[in-house]
Amino acid sequence: MNNIQKRLTDRKNIIEAVIFDWAGTIVDFGSFAPTTIFVEAFQKEYAFEITLKEARVPMGLGKWDHIKAVGKLDSVNQRWVTQFGKSMDDADIDKIYQRFIPLQKVKVVDHATPILNAINVVNDLKKQGIKIGSCTGYPRAVMDILIPVAAKHGYVPDCIVATDDLKHGGRPAPFMVLKNVIDLGVSNVANCIKVDDSTPGITEGHNAGMWTVALLLSGNEAGLTYQQYQQADKKTLEQARQKARVVLAKSNPHYMIDTIDDLPSVLTEIEKRLEAGERP
């Protein structure tokens, strides 16, 4: 028995699976691929302007639901009524969504670079016998383009569930992560960890009975580019961190960390808590 096999036997796979979000978690530092395309889709379909800040508010939802949620923001609704004489309805959402999908399919490749040490972290988990799941607010049509590009970068999760793969797949409902549980053959949801950069994604993990880890600096709420993150001083990073913490704390994650690079120490802590008999 080699050292890795011995370690797997000794630890008895207490943590069975980690289920990751995609944009802002594993790829696309700052989660810019979906947000910038929402801005563009509103503009191209209706010559209607939304801000990047408004586009970020419902991040984590399925994209049709995301558009609907943006339309319900007071600031957006007021401008929409002024421009069109009524609030946004489902037909409007359908049109924007149909405009969004081809734009997103083109742009998602440009934002497929893995975040920081993501590939090494994931591969180390695999070596420990931990299964790698994933789910996303992207529809399958977008994922079919993103998956092979991510694979070229070295990211190959054991399971991938898109928001439209299931009849009731949208976050914050737990169905996408539970589909991961089934497909990965996990024996206990309490032995799973959901890692995400959005409140719907963290709530999704809670609703499935999992441990939850929120990412503060690599995702949607901080909204930093990788270059801004690299160049920021301690004060700037702490301001971004606090901005994200205020929002993500509303979903009560078990842990909040800066990026996926900080995940291994959290897994060690969760494993100790599981060994002590704690549950999420």
In this structure, the answer to whether residues 90 and 138 fall within a common structural domain is: no
232 and 254 both lie in a single domain: yes
157 and 171, same structural domain?
A: yes
pLDDT at 60: 84
Q: How many domains does the chain have?
A: 2
Both 116 and 153 in one domain: the answer is: yes
Report yes or no on 279 lying in a domain.
no
Could you tell me if 100 and 63 are in contact, meaning their C-beta atoms sit under 8 angstroms apart?
yes
Residue in the structure block whose two tokens are 């995609």: 22
Domain boundary among 67, 87, 109: 109
Indicate if 206 and 132 belong to the same structural domain.
yes
Last residue of a domain, one of 65, 90, 109: 109
Which CATH number characterizes residue 43's domain?
A: 1.10.150.240
Task: With respect to residue 251, please indicate whether it lies within any of the assigned structural domains.
Answer: yes
Domain presence at residue 233 = yes
Catalytic residue flag (residue 107): no
Q: What is the mean pLDDT of each run of 10 residues along the chain (280 residues)?
A: 45 84 96 90 94 91 92 96 96 94 91 95 97 96 96 98 90 96 97 97 98 97 95 97 97 98 97 95
Within-domain flag for 213? yes
28, 19, 21, 220: which is closest to 114 by C-alpha?
Answer: 28
CATH number, domain with residue 270: 3.40.50.1000
Task: Say how far apart CA 112 and CA 151 lie, in whole Å.
Answer: 10
- Residues 184 and 253 grouped into a single domain: yes
The token pair at 91 is 């037909």
Domain boundary, last residue among 48, 83, 109: 109
Q: Which of 76, 65, 12, 9 is nearest to 34 (CA)?
A: 65
Let me know: does 80 contact 88? Beta carbons within 8 Å. Answer: yes
Are 246 and 268 in the same domain?
yes
The pLDDT, as a whole number, for residue 4 is 44
Residue 233, number of CB atoms within 10 A of its CB: 7
Kindly name the residue from 28, 44, 63, 74 that is annotated as catalytic: 63
Give the domain extent around 121: 3-31+112-274
Q: Which of 10, 12, 21, 65 is catalytic?
A: 21
What lies within 8 Å, CB to CB, of 201 at 6+ separation is 21, 60, 171, 172, 194
Q: Are residues 11 and 148 in the same domain?
A: yes
User: 89 catalytic, yes or no?
Assistant: no
Both 140 and 230 in one domain: the answer is yes
C-alpha to C-alpha distance for 52 and 39, rounded to whole angstroms: 7
